[in-house]
Chains A and B, each alone.
Chain A
Amino acid sequence: MSGTQDDLYDDHILDHFESPYHKGHLPQPTCSHSDRNPICGDQITVELLVDEHDVVKEAFFDGKGCAISQASASILCEAIEGKTLQELRDFQAQNMLDLLKVRLTASRQKCGLLGFKVLKTMLYTLDEQREPASSG
């Protein structure tokens, strides 16, 4: 059996959970967003510092919750630094799940995709805010 349950808590996930990448806050984020999973209460905030070329200079997260939600937010932050906002818009849930390298059951996907969801909502809000500015 490949990608079976017991691989879920593998070193990749546990390392990110124990020593997360960029856990904390940016002094002056360009944008930030928080959300929680109402069922389990897990909570994630993502903050980005974006330069004038729309490139993510730094990504930070903070939050509380299970190893899967916290490790995946850490993996997400590590993966998106250096990417353009357009690349982030193209980044799909499956790409996020691929980054985790473990197979999640349907109920755990909500944990693994919480940070991703926060990022997507943040981009959407950012685009909404920019829209009126650029159009008039």
Chain B
Amino acid sequence: MTTISSDFDVESVRRDFPILHQRLLGDVPLVYLDTAATAHKPRSVVAKVVECFEQYNSNVHRGIHQLGDRMTTELELAREKVQHFIGAGSSDEIVFTSGTTMSLNMVAHGWARKFLKPGDEILLNSMEHHANLVPWQLAAAATGASLKYIPLTDDGRLDLTTLDQLLTPRTKLLAVTAMSNVLGTINPVAELAERAHAVGALICVDAAQSVPHLTTNVRSPQIDFLAFSGHKLYGPTGIGVLYARRQLLEAMDPFLAGGHMIREVFLDSSTWADPPAKFEAGTCPFIEAVGLGAAIDYVQHIGLSQISHYEHLLSVRAHEQLAQVPGVKIHGPSVEHKGAILSFTVDGVHPHDLSDLLDRRGVAIRAGHHCTMPLHELLNLTATARASLAFYNTMEEVDALAEAVRAARQVFRLK
């Protein structure tokens, strides 16, 4: 076995996450390996949310009173934190949404339905989460545009050998995940952005999985649309972000209509507020947004490069350990091309049985198609088991995963 050295102080980090220190049925410690589904929240995030509720909860942008002022200031501060975290040029380019799904739907409605015409093409690929697939299907059906797919290599990466044929002046949008939520594949977003722009297409990046684990910069390469969720970034649920370049936000139609998104309302027509307000109709989840700001502070305090480095070491160990278990197949590219996500199958043990048996040992993984039915179709599998790691996991937990898989095989009487 490789010896892995890291000066990352995981024990100290774990103290920030009270949820990790619990014992489950059968008095086994929790081993949480499902961060790709949702991440845990450090105390500082919980404390910030409680502070908002207890000290200055008040609707934003409206009341001219002290609480309203304070809440609005905190909300706009959170917006600036997001801006700096992803390298955007202005906080006006940060739209608060309810999550990745909402952000992508906003682009599909406000941009695609407005600008696409019959004959136009959207370039996708089959590793996408349903959230970055189904909205485009609907937009294509509504506009007469068609969907094209970049093929995948056998090991689950984008096969770019035919990209020149696929990217043509008809291509108006390339929508791609920065990191697959199943295979962990890290896609070459910089190259894709450059090549999409070369034919006049825009790029829309589903960054739900990448933002919590890799450094993001929307200006290098130049990204047109970028979506992510707060709850996968150690922040609250119900909050997410759509980044779009200012000209795009100005050109797009609003998605939801109502209060706050208007400039002037007459009886038979209205004009829109400037972005981001144009896309934030109604009362936005302002406390969740402030919680997201606190989560970004937390991640930056630890350091994304430290996080990436340590998670990679965990991932290497997990791959090594699991590969030694007979009958285990890990799907997707080799460890250097991916984030700390392992989707695997075990000969003779269905993923659901596996996750059930692992759960008895406190090991929380996920089984199913993980909202990627076309990808599973391609892999010729109905389901996979997925373990996803975060910087609060330990090497011992990774070993516990492999051990629990061995034990599950024994229950199934496999040699």
User: Are these two chains actual partners, yes or no?
Assistant: yes
Residues of A within 8 A of B (CB): 5-6, 8-9, 14, 18, 39-43, 64-68, 108, 111
B352: which A residues are within 8 A, CB to CB?
A: 40, 42, 65-66, 68, 108, 111
User: Is the Cβ of A65 less than 8 Å from the Cβ of B356?
Assistant: no
B367: which A residues are within 8 A, CB to CB?
A: 40
User: Is the Cβ of A42 less than 8 Å from the Cβ of B411?
Assistant: no
Q: State in angstroms the CA–CA spacing of A90 and B352 once bound together.
A: 30
User: Is the Cβ of A64 less than 8 Å from the Cβ of B413?
Assistant: no
B64: which A residues are within 8 A, CB to CB?
A: none
A68: which B residues are within 8 A, CB to CB?
A: 352-353
B360-384 near A? 1/0 per residue, CB < 8 Å: 1000000111000000100000110
Q: State in angstroms the CA–CA spacing of A111 and B383 once bound together.
A: 14
Asked if B350 is an interface residue, CB under 8 A from chain A, the answer is: yes
User: Is the Cβ of A67 less than 8 Å from the Cβ of B383?
Assistant: no
Asked if B357 is an interface residue, CB under 8 A from chain A, the answer is: yes
Q: Which of B26, B353, B376, B382 contacts A43 (CB 8 A)?
A: B382
User: Is the Cβ of A67 less than 8 Å from the Cβ of B412?
Assistant: yes
In the complex formed, the residue of B with least CB distance to A11 is: B413
A-facing residues in B91-145 (Cβ within 8 Å): none
User: Is the Cβ of A40 less than 8 Å from the Cβ of B368?
Assistant: yes
User: Is the Cβ of A65 less than 8 Å from the Cβ of B350?
Assistant: yes
Q: State in angstroms the CA–CA spacing of A9 and B382 once bound together.
A: 21
In the complex formed, the residue of B with least CB distance to A13 is: B353
Asked if B25 is an interface residue, CB under 8 A from chain A, the answer is: yes
Would you give the shortest CB distance from B331 to chain A, in whole angstroms?
A: 15
- Name the 5 nearest CB pairs between A and B, nearest first: A41-B382, A66-B350, A66-B352, A66-B353, A67-B353
A40: which B residues are within 8 A, CB to CB?
A: 352, 367-369, 382-383
Of the A-B pairs whose beta carbons lie under 8 Å apart in the complex, a sample of 11, sorted by A's number, is A5-B25, A9-B411, A40-B367, A40-B383, A41-B376, A43-B382, A65-B382, A66-B350, A67-B353, A68-B352, A68-B353
Q: State in angstroms the CA–CA spacing of A5 and B25 once bound together.
A: 10
In the complex formed, the residue of A with least CB distance to B373 is: A41
Q: Which of B26, B351, B412 contacts A14 (CB 8 A)?
A: B412
Most A CB within 10 A of own CB, among B26, B382, B412, B413: B382
Q: State in angstroms the CA–CA spacing of A29 and B103 once bound together.
A: 50
User: Is the Cβ of A8 less than 8 Å from the Cβ of B383?
Assistant: no
Main secondary structure of the interface of A (DSSP, over half): mixed
A64: which B residues are within 8 A, CB to CB?
A: 382
Q: State in angstroms the CA–CA spacing of A40 and B357 once bound together.
A: 16
Contact A67-B350, Cβ < 8 Å, known A9-B411, A41-B368? yes
Q: State in angstroms the CA–CA spacing of A64 and B382 once bound together.
A: 9
Contact A5-B360, Cβ < 8 Å, known A40-B352, A66-B350, A68-B353? yes
B368: which A residues are within 8 A, CB to CB?
A: 39-41
Would you give the shortest CB distance from A30 to chain B, in whole angstroms?
A: 29
Q: State in angstroms the CA–CA spacing of A62 and B350 once bound together.
A: 16
Would you give the shortest CB distance from A96 to chain B, in whole angstroms?
A: 18
Q: State in angstroms the CA–CA spacing of A51 and B19 once bound together.
A: 59
B369: which A residues are within 8 A, CB to CB?
A: 40-41
User: Is the Cβ of A14 less than 8 Å from the Cβ of B413?
Assistant: yes
Q: State in angstroms the CA–CA spacing of A9 and B360 once bound together.
A: 12
User: Is the Cβ of A108 less than 8 Å from the Cβ of B356?
Assistant: yes
In the complex formed, the residue of A with least CB distance to B413 is: A14
Contact A9-B25, Cβ < 8 Å, known A65-B350, A66-B350? no
Q: State in angstroms the CA–CA spacing of A51 and B136 once bound together.
A: 51
In the complex formed, the residue of B with least CB distance to A5 is: B360
Q: State in angstroms the CA–CA spacing of A101 and B28 once bound together.
A: 26
Would you give the shortest CB distance from A68 to chain B, in whole angstroms?
A: 7
B376: which A residues are within 8 A, CB to CB?
A: 41
Q: State in angstroms the CA–CA spacing of A67 and B411 once bound together.
A: 12
Q: State in angstroms the CA–CA spacing of A39 and B411 once bound together.
A: 25
B349: which A residues are within 8 A, CB to CB?
A: 67
In the complex formed, the residue of A with least CB distance to B357 is: A9
Q: State in angstroms the CA–CA spacing of A18 and B413 once bound together.
A: 10
Contact A9-B383, Cβ < 8 Å, known A67-B353, A68-B353, A111-B352? no
B411: which A residues are within 8 A, CB to CB?
A: 9, 14
User: Is the Cβ of B382 less than 8 Å from the Cβ of A6?
Assistant: no
A5: which B residues are within 8 A, CB to CB?
A: 25-26, 360
Would you give the shortest CB distance from B66 to chain A, in whole angstroms?
A: 47
Can you name 16 extra interface pairs (CB under 8 A) apart from A9-B411, A42-B352?
Answer: A5-B25, A5-B26, A6-B360, A8-B356, A9-B357, A14-B412, A40-B368, A41-B376, A41-B383, A42-B382, A65-B382, A66-B351, A66-B352, A67-B350, A67-B353, A67-B412
Would you give the shortest CB distance from A23 to chain B, in whole angstroms?
A: 15
A14: which B residues are within 8 A, CB to CB?
A: 411-413
In the complex formed, the residue of A with least CB distance to B25 is: A5
Would you give the shortest CB distance from B58 to chain A, in whole angstroms?
A: 40
Q: State in angstroms the CA–CA spacing of A67 and B413 once bound together.
A: 13
